[in-house]
Amino acid sequence: MTSRTALGWPELASVPGELVMADELPDGLIVADETGQVIVFNAAAARLTGVRPDEALGKELFDILPLHDADGRDWWSLTDPYHGLQTRTRHPERPLFLADGTEMLVHVRYVREPRRRRDVRRLVVALHDASQRARLERSRADLVSTVAHELRSPLTSVKGFTATLLSKWHRFTDDQKRVMLETVNADADRVTRLITELLDVSRIESGRLEVHRQLVDVPERARKIMAGRVAAGEPEDRFRLTVAGGLPETWLDADKVDQILANLIENAVRHGAGTVTVVVEPAAGGDVVAVSVQDEGEGIAPDLASRVFRQFWRGKRRGGTGLGLYIVKGLVEAHGGTISVGRAPGGGAEFRFTMPAGTPLA
């Protein structure tokens, strides 16, 4: 069933053949006929209200679904669906309460046939979990707050240095100018990384993350990421790469593999200790490539393992947006792979992800 039908409802309420599809909808759906008797009561509605479908079908809608507003008034009496305004076609989504006080987001649609200003033939009620919506809104508010906080520091720095250079250019030596411009450049990179993270989060949540497959040498990609860290000032002996034989020919998205490896290696450097080891090996009969990134730090407590891939999770050392591992998980799953965290052989954390080798046409 298309999302248009799920949101429009008149089609579903007026075409009997589609009623059997109601249980596939993620939201609660209740349909009453012209007499007010319930003719559709899907699985999501049963879950939200605690009423079994066999208890609801054939019963009066107003008895099965008693709704009250915030002042405790009977909402059905206020709206009088079957004898109220004949021009009414719907009630926009609004918070209402069940008899036990559970808050629901309720959207009501009127089906009048053959045209408007006629009696109601179907009353279609959609139910949404208000607590789930509240959690989503809190998550979005957290994202806005985090982004604002992360943007403030580099933008303040950029503004300060550029204003100083513009007003007092001739007072500084070339070395002083270079230092300030290098700082501005680094802060601009930081802002760019943040914007990239936000775009990735948006694509992951909306299911619009695209994978462009090509032949990828995973060990070579890991080697380049490590070389970049060394060039940035990390000691060369901080990193070790172990490659097992028999690796499959892997068709993956090269840019996303780089992003995954870079994020996991940076995470190991920032939050771990000792040597960072990357192990690349075949798995699942040779049709899957497995990559482990290990450190020798304190590791991650078992009770925290289920949280590390959530948005805004941060380790003991604060800093960053807390979106990196969430994005890594989304990139791995976009390839049809899985990722987990556990204890490394050296006692630190081990992030291990697997990806199907893929095909040139995948």
For 190-230, how does the pLDDT look when each residue is reduced to its tens digit (9 = 90+)? 888 788 878 888 888 777 888 889 999 999 999 999 999 99
**Mean pLDDT, the chain, whole residue set:** 84
Q: For residues 237-245, give the mean pLDDT.
A: 93
H helix count then E strand count, the chain: 11, 12
Q: Is residue 361 part of a domain?
A: no
Q: Clarify whether residues 178 and 232 are in a common domain.
A: no
**pLDDT (0 to 100) of residue 191:** 87
| Domain containing residue 112 | 3-133
Of the candidates 327, 202, 185, 350, the residue with the CA atom closest to the CA atom of residue 255: 327
pLDDT one-digit tens code per residue, 136-195:
677 677 777 767 777 788 888 899 999 999 999 999 999 999 999 999 998 888 888 788
Instruction: Please determine, for residue 318, whether its predicted confidence score (pLDDT) is greater than 60.
Output: no
Higher pLDDT, 314 or 234: 234
Q: Clarify whether residues 220 and 314 are in a common domain.
A: yes
**pLDDT (0 to 100) of residue 352:** 95
From 171, 187, 206, the end of a domain falls on 206
pLDDT one-digit tens code per residue, 74-120:
999 999 999 888 888 889 888 898 888 888 889 999 988 766 667 88
User: Distance between the two ends of the chain, CA-based, in angstroms?
Assistant: 26
Q: Is residue 70 part of a domain?
A: yes
CATH of the domain at 141: 1.10.287.130
Which range scores top for mean pLDDT: 81-90, 269-278, 297-306?
269-278
The residue assigned the tokens 């950029």 is 158
Instruction: Please determine, for residue 346, whether its predicted confidence score (pLDDT) is greater than 90.
Output: no
**pLDDT (0 to 100) of residue 246:** 86
From 187, 206, 225, the end of a domain falls on 206
Q: Clarify whether residues 188 and 262 are in a common domain.
A: no
Q: Clarify whether residues 102 and 16 are in a common domain.
A: yes
Q: Is residue 102 part of a domain?
A: yes
Which pair of tokens denotes residue 195? 């914007």
Q: For residues 243-266, give the mean pLDDT.
A: 92
Number of domains observed in the structure of the chain = 3
Q: Clarify whether residues 177 and 139 are in a common domain.
A: yes
Q: Is residue 55 part of a domain?
A: yes
From 182, 206, 230, the end of a domain falls on 206
Within 10 angstroms of residue 173's Cβ, the number of other Cβ atoms is 8
Instruction: Please determine, for residue 16, whether its predicted confidence score (pLDDT) is greater than 50.
Output: no
Q: Clarify whether residues 143 and 96 are in a common domain.
A: no
